[in-house]
Structure 1
Amino acid sequence: MANAQFSILRIIVILIFVIPILLIATVYYFQDALLFYKVPSEMAIIRYNKHHYPNSEQFLKTPDGINLHGWFVKDKSTKKTPLVFYFGGNASNVEFIVSDKKYIPGIAACTFNYRGYGLSEGEPSEKKIVEDALLIYNTYKNHPNIDSNNITIIGRSLGTGVAIQLASKVKASKLILVSPYDSMINTAYDHYPFLPVKWILKNTFESNKYVGQLTQKTMIIYGDQDTVVSPERTLSLIKAFKNKPKVVVFKGRHHNNVFDDEQYWPSINDFILN
């Protein structure tokens, strides 16, 4: 009888203490893989981009010796044009969105894959990809025939955290945030309320701590049915702005189809050019 009671007690201890500790340790160890879903390159897409946008493929070496792969796409016109810097989501390979340049005619676009994504080397982290974003911005902001008074930073999903931190460091004129969040801590807690995410998350992307100091004219786009970055997270971020942004809500759209709305690209074009 005593042995049976001891066995039951041991099982209870395991259930209460050991399993949660193992779960937390597992999430901590694999969190980078969950946050940074590194999408590989497809050579067919690269060939397509190089064919349709000659001389647009770019390689940029970071101070710590990492080669970043990206694209700088500009129309053939020699007149000065606006420039957009784009930072994608956590499962985004920018090679696949280069062709979206056709939706913003007359506007130059610069975008690079994060470390570890596509042909970019290295391993991603919040600190490193923000540093890389600043390097990319400073490298291309003075490119010939660019209107330095009309530079827009665009971030989507994970990339909004990168875009916001970059905007806090540079003098870009405009900022566009698609499906943004207030912090990765709060976003992670929405999905894993049973975990102490505040204590185990390494890449916190606390955007709400930066937006109050931004001076750029800002537009926020989100879908009201988003279940990845909930509207609550976006609305919380909006409240943190000192200079209130323009807000565009697409009804019935969720995280992965907000850009399918017929007003998505017209809204972006109008904001950049006016």
Structure 2
Amino acid sequence: MDVLLKVLTVGGAAYAALLAIVFVLQGHLIYFPDAGREILHTPQDAGLAYEAVWLTTEDAVRIEAWYVPAPAARGVVLLAHGNAGNISHRLDYAIMFHHLGYSLLLFEYRGYGRSEGKPSEEGTYADARAAWRYLVAQRGVPPERIVLVGESLGGAVVARLAAAERPGALVLASSFVSVPELAAELYPWLPARWLARYRYDALEALGRVSSPVLIAHSRQDDIVPFRHGERLFAAAREPKVFLELAGGHNDGFLFTREAWREALGCFLAQHLPAGAMNSVPR
């Protein structure tokens, strides 16, 4: 009995220590800025003209962004990428949206790439707001001509932005319901919902979005289960479209496949104003 009590005591202490470590260091399980700090390519390498701009957030952090114009653009896509890599890893999106007739603003989260600061939940929201302000205030893009696109973690970022603003459309690709929900599924041996200091509650934000919504998810997603996409779609208001993808979570740039690119193009053509934008000021 004494041996069993000792084993239980030591085991309990070890588990408590593990919980403390996870609680303190969970940011390292969410953000992976060091997975790609180096800028490997620019849109110019893909034959696209672009403008590198530096945005200052409301809390005085400077973040990098790339504006990739399309001729006679119907609108502008504001893309929030996932939790790893940087904007130089998302050039396929620039090519795709260029072919669809949309300009693109790729913005970098704080602490990623060459941007200043350290990533945080409120920080990523502020970064997205700075990108929105740049398009609306500095480039004069009408909100109804802006398409918010979020990839994985970026889905929660732009869902919150769309709930506060009124973009022309919102697209969530391979996104999760919330961090606590996803963590509880990935780490069932931990009280993840209780430990979570990060929310990224896309489900709650989506319920407040009045813009047309497209949810895209794959049944083969090996990180964010397909049911997350289904729950997000159920929470979205009409008009809404569900686009079923194929392949794993990190197969990369799933939208660039022809069938899905056509479906996305049809969705945007249906819900954004017809015709090209007027020239806008710099």
- TM range, normalised to the smaller chain? 0.7 to 0.9
Residue from 221, 230, 236 that aligns with 2:216: 221
Partner Cα distance (1:152, 1:51) in 2: 22
Residue from 97, 100, 104 that aligns with 2:93: 100
Aligned AA (2:249)? H
* Pairing 1:57-72 to 2, within 5 Å after superposition: 57-72=52-67
Please tell me whether the aligned partners of residues 46 and 91 of structure 2 are also in contact (alpha carbons under 8 angstroms): no
Q: What does the per-residue CA deviation read over 1:247-270, in whole Å, with 9 as the maximum and x for residues that have no partner?
A: 0112x4221223464323222222
- Deviation of 1:164 (Å): 0.3
Q: What does the per-residue CA deviation read over 1:223-273, in whole Å, with 9 as the maximum and x for residues that have no partner?
A: 1111211011221222222325200112x4221223464323222222223
- Gapped regions of structure 2 (runs ≥ 5): 271-282
Further displaced range: 228-237 or 144-153: 144-153
- Indicate the residue corresponding to 1:195 in structure 2: 190
Please tell me whether the aligned partners of residues 178 and 222 of structure 1 are also in contact (alpha carbons under 8 angstroms): yes
* Pairing 1:1-16 to 2, within 5 Å after superposition: 6-15=2-11
Secondary structure class of the residue paired with 2:10: helix
- Indicate the residue corresponding to 2:247 in structure 1: 253
**C-alpha RMSD of the superposition:** 2.2
- Gapped regions of structure 1 (runs ≥ 5): none
- Indicate the residue corresponding to 2:265 in structure 1: 269
Further displaced range: 97-106 or 187-196: 97-106
Aligned AA (2:269)? L
Please tell me whether the aligned partners of residues 58 and 126 of structure 2 are also in contact (alpha carbons under 8 angstroms): no
Whose RCO is larger (CA < 8 A, sep 6+)? 2
* Pairing 1:75-90 to 2, within 5 Å after superposition: 75=70, 77=71, 79=72, 81-90=74-83
Q: What does the per-residue CA deviation read over 1:1-42, in whole Å, with 9 as the maximum and x for residues that have no partner?
A: xxxx64552222111x21111111111122111101113333
TM-score (norm 2): 0.86
Aligned AA (1:178)? A
Larger Rg computed on CA atoms: 1
Partner Cα distance (2:27, 2:89) in 1: 22
- Deviation of 1:203 (Å): 1.3
Give aligned pairs, total. 265
Residue from 59, 84, 93 that aligns with 1:91: 84
TM-score (norm 1): 0.88
Percent identity over the alignment?
23
Please tell me whether the aligned partners of residues 41 and 119 of structure 1 are also in contact (alpha carbons under 8 angstroms): yes
Please tell me whether the aligned partners of residues 169 and 213 of structure 2 are also in contact (alpha carbons under 8 angstroms): yes
Residue from 159, 163, 171 that aligns with 1:168: 163
Partner Cα distance (1:263, 1:72) in 2: 26
Further displaced range: 195-204 or 162-171: 195-204
- Deviation of 1:50 (Å): 7.4
Please tell me whether the aligned partners of residues 186 and 233 of structure 1 are also in contact (alpha carbons under 8 angstroms): no
